[in-house]
Structure 1
Amino acid sequence: MKRNLARLGRWPLRSLSIGKLYEASKDEKTILARALRLLRSWLSPEQRADFDRKGYFDVVGCDTGKRYRIRRGTSANVNEIDEYGRLGTGRCFVPLGGLAQGDVMLAQKIALETDENRALSIANSFPGPLGWRLPRRRPADARSSGVSIGLQILDADPPA
């Protein structure tokens, strides 16, 4: 094997390297890559760090001062954030046209930061994640009796 490589010289390895470099540069010129590059150029350093590390960034609405989280995606990817940092009501608004993911997220960011009320007036709302709204697990003693705490209160006879 080494003898064959030595006989061919370094050109096959160079052409292989050049081919890989060409493929990498071609990937960077795609519509999706250019859209994400444009989005990143509009993000603040903190937003860019969050987006690179976590896949989302937060913006502050210009009219109400509410915080919103924009996650990677093209629809149903915006959620309000409450004062405790939990995700709340989801908002779905998308610019017209079949835009790339980065372009949609940039349009959502600009809309919330410059004309929040108008963006929310056209947005469809959906309930946020339900995980933090669910009641906590019942205590061990309530589980052992087979009756939930809520039912004990509702089923109790009124005082006579």
Structure 2
Amino acid sequence: MFLFRHSGVGSDARFRALRALYRSCIEQNGPEARARRLLRDWLSPQQRAQFDAENYFEVTGSHTGRRYRVHYGTLSNVLEIDASGQPAIGWCFLPERALAAGDVMLAQKIALETDEAAVLALAHRFSPRLPSLPRVVRRAY
């Protein structure tokens, strides 16, 4: 560990600069950043462009040829897309261990592209459309 002596003028600025450098190094090399880089390396050029623009990418299932949209995240982030491009069914499946979002998404991509039937047999199905809630009207008094 480095020991720094407080030397007066300009030392606060040096400490702030050192702290900022340390934070940027952690942000660029932390688990989330590494997982995101690995995911981007595995995406096709079309998927990578879609992911960069929309924060999701689409995958084609290995058995049925259905399209799935994998959104950034770890839970309830896979949506089956119908012929009109709208979400039809939501699927929730993830690895047993807690992982960074990019690692989870990569596992989901590989699973859907290689063994779609087995994944869907284990996945939890959910409605991608939120139920309509009654509108609450508030009056100003």
Normalising by structure 2, what TM-score? 0.78
Residue equivalent to 2:46: 46
- The CA distance in 2 between the partners of 1:128 and 1:25, in whole Å, is 37
SS of the equivalent of 2:94 reads coil
CA drift of 1:33 comes to 1.1
Residue equivalent to 1:119: 119
Any idea what the Cα deviations from partners look like across 1:43-68, whole Å, max 9, x if unmatched? 11111111121111000001100000
The amino acid that maps onto 1:129 is R
Residue equivalent to 1:80: 80
Normalising by structure 1, what TM-score? 0.69
- The CA distance in 1 between the partners of 2:33 and 2:76, in whole Å, is 21
Any idea what the Cα deviations from partners look like across 1:23-76, whole Å, max 9, x if unmatched? 212211111111111111111111111112111100000110000000011111
Alignment RMSD: 2.2
- The CA distance in 2 between the partners of 1:37 and 1:90, in whole Å, is 26
User: Is 2:18 aligned against 1:30?
Assistant: no
Larger radius of gyration: 1
Residue equivalent to 1:99: 99
Specify every segment of 5 or more residues in structure 2 that has no aligned partner in the other structure, as ranges.
1-8, 133-141
- The CA distance in 2 between the partners of 1:90 and 1:118, in whole Å, is 16
Residue equivalent to 2:57: 57
How many residues of Structure 1 are paired with residues of Structure 2 in the alignment? 125
SS of the equivalent of 1:59 reads strand
Larger RCO (CA within 8 A; separation ≥ 6): 2
The amino acid that maps onto 2:127 is P
Q: Percent identity?
A: 50
SS of the equivalent of 2:41 reads helix
Structure with the largest fraction of helix: 1
- The CA distance in 1 between the partners of 2:16 and 2:54, in whole Å, is 34
**Which moved further from structure 2: 102-111 or 14-23?**
14-23
